[in-house]
Amino acid sequence: MSIRLRLTFWYVGLLAIMLALFSSFIYVLFERNLTEEIDNSLYARADEMIRVLSASGPLLISPRIPATVDAFASGEFFIQLISADGDLLDRSSNLMSQRIPSDPAVLTRIVREGRAGYDTMRAERHELRVYTIPLVSGGQVIGFLQIARSMEDLKATMVRLRQVLFVGSGFILIVAFLTGSLIARRALMPIDRITQTARRIGVSGNLTERVRVRGPQDEIGRLANTFNWMLDRLEQAYSRLEQALAAQRRFVADASHELRTPLTTVLGNLDFLTRHGNLQDPDLREALADANSEAQRMSRLVEDLLFLARADAGQRLQMTTVRADETVRDVIRQARRLANGQTIEAGPIVPATIVASPDHFKQLLLVLVDNAIKYTPAGGTITISAVVTGDPPELAIEIADTGPGIHPDDLPHIFERFYRAEQARGGSGSGLGLAIARWLADEHDGRIDVRSSVGHGSVFTVRLPVLSTPDVSPLLPATSAA
């Protein structure tokens, strides 16, 4: 059963219960009011009769009701006189051969209470509303005067009322069912639109489609907005997944390409050595040197690939407090040993403590320094500095070179895996160093900024949060050439 029908049935069921309660209340109230009206008319007739009879003297039990009393009887009112024992003494002429029922228990109750009472009694096929008045003489009840009125009109009225309430309630429930069904259908139309949109998206795979939100921001409006928000998240996740898959495909293709060259070189040299067993020393040394160089390059490439694979698998670094200025000085010393004709200069180095993984923080700086050495020609200058800037404070470690610089078209891609700018394609690098550096910076809650101008060199700046900065003056070491 659909939600629309369930809501309609619940609505109609609740309305039916309310109508039943309301109809019962109206029925009982109307019946009580009609009965009270009959009682009032009996009391008024009895009071009028007693006053008229009392005007001519004391009211005594007589063998017949006086003619003046009989005048109070009519087609609606019946009058009867009975003794204290309940025996019929006389009755109005409109009763003919019938009599008003008298229950001894009722008479006893009236005598005990000493006041008149109302009762509903059945006489043959009719119900009568009877008003019984005790007749007292000398402090003693000597008889009863009974005035009755038929209840048939009341019963007929109540039957008509029941019919009206039943038919009216039925008509109201039918109208309520039809109206409730239409209202529920209209109220649930936005949910139908959401369902149809979800079905179309599921069939077509088009995550750009959205549910059109119209009307107030009620529960259904919020549901539509939430559904659209979920589609936004799914579209973003799907886009990221496509990008990751594309990057993975490029990664595999580039890795295969990068590994093919050293493997081909190694295999070619080994095949050459196998086919020419009588090689002279110079040829042998050259073949072995080529094989060793390419094997080392392949080993470095495999190590870089393994490092990035662990990073992709969610590897987390073990952090501790590190004196960044000491690490920077250590990197400068190593850079001077690695330099190949370049001048390594130390700029301002401010003492600062950061939260980092000591080995990986040093590796981050060495990757950038090695990159600067690789692309700075002999005679060029590489300057390394570390200063604290900004609020909150950041440690900015700059590695500036005087190399050829990076073309603006290449700048957005230099941190991609296996990407190498046009001027660097003939080099020995694998294109993974800067990708590793960016991941290490991200893991240290930092970032790497790059400024470069073609023909004027590049500046790589590593920015990391500072834990503390001792209140000492910056150390400015003298410039040293390699």
**pLDDT of 339 above 70:** yes
Q: Residue 252 is encoded by which pair of tokens?
A: 């595999």
Alpha-carbon distance 329 to 474, whole Å? 13
Contacts with 468 (C-beta within 8 Å, 6 or more apart), sequence order = 352, 353
Question: Residue 213 corresponds to which tokens in the numbers above?
Answer: 């939100």
Q: Does position 295 have pLDDT exceeding 80, yes or no? A: no
When computed from its CA atoms, the radius of gyration of the chain, rounded to whole angstroms, is: 55
pLDDT of residue 280: 61
89 or 344, greater pLDDT: 344
Q: State yes or no: pLDDT of 137 exceeds 80.
A: no
Q: Which fold has domain 3-158?
A: Beta-Lactamase (3.30.450)
In this prediction, residue 473 carries a pLDDT of 41
pLDDT at 106 over 80: yes
Quick one: angle between helices 189-204 and 152-187, nearest 10? Answer: 30
Q: What is the mean pLDDT of residues 403-422?
A: 79
In this predicted structure, the answer to whether residue 153 has a pLDDT above a threshold of 50 is yes
Please compute the mean of the pLDDT values over residues 458-476 and round it to a whole number.
Answer: 72
Strands (E), 246-350: 320-323, 343-349
Q: Which helix (H) or strand (E) holds 171?
A: helix 152-187
Using CA atoms, how far apart are residues 222 and 219, in angstroms rounded to an integer? Answer: 5
pLDDT tens figures, 35-80: 899 889 888 888 888 777 666 555 544 444 555 566 677 778 888 8
Residue pair 384/327 in contact (Cβ under 8 Å)? The answer is: no
pLDDT at 477 over 50: no
| CA distance linking residue 49 with residue 56, whole number of Å | 12
Top-confidence residue, 289 or 439: 439
Three-state DSSP at 313 gives: coil
Burial of 201 (0-12, 13-18, 19+ CB in 10 A): middle
Give CATH for domain 220-312: 1.10.287.130
Any idea which residue has 């390699």 for tokens? 482
Mean pLDDT of 465-472: 69
**What CATH number matches the domain at 320-465, 2.30.40.10, 3.30.565.10, 1.10.760.10, 3.30.530.20?**
3.30.565.10
pLDDT at residue 55, rounded to an integer = 65
88-91 vs 320-323, strand pairing mode: unpaired
Q: How far apart are CA 222 and CA 307, in angstroms?
A: 45
Region of poorest pLDDT, from 103-117, 206-220, 452-466: 206-220
- Domains of the chain by residue range: 3-158, 220-312, 320-465
What pLDDT was estimated at residue 425? Answer: 45
Cα 358 from Cα 322, distance rounded (Å): 6
133 and 50 Cβ atoms separated by less than 8 Å:
yes
Length of the chain: 482
Examine the pLDDT at 322 and tell me if it is beyond 50: yes
Token reading at 304? 């870089």
Give me the pLDDT at residue 189, please: 76
pLDDT digits (tens, 9 = 90+) for 345-401: 999 999 999 999 888 888 889 889 988 998 899 989 999 999 998 888 899 999 999
Average pLDDT, the chain: 79
| H/E run at residue 216 | none
The reported pTM is 0.46
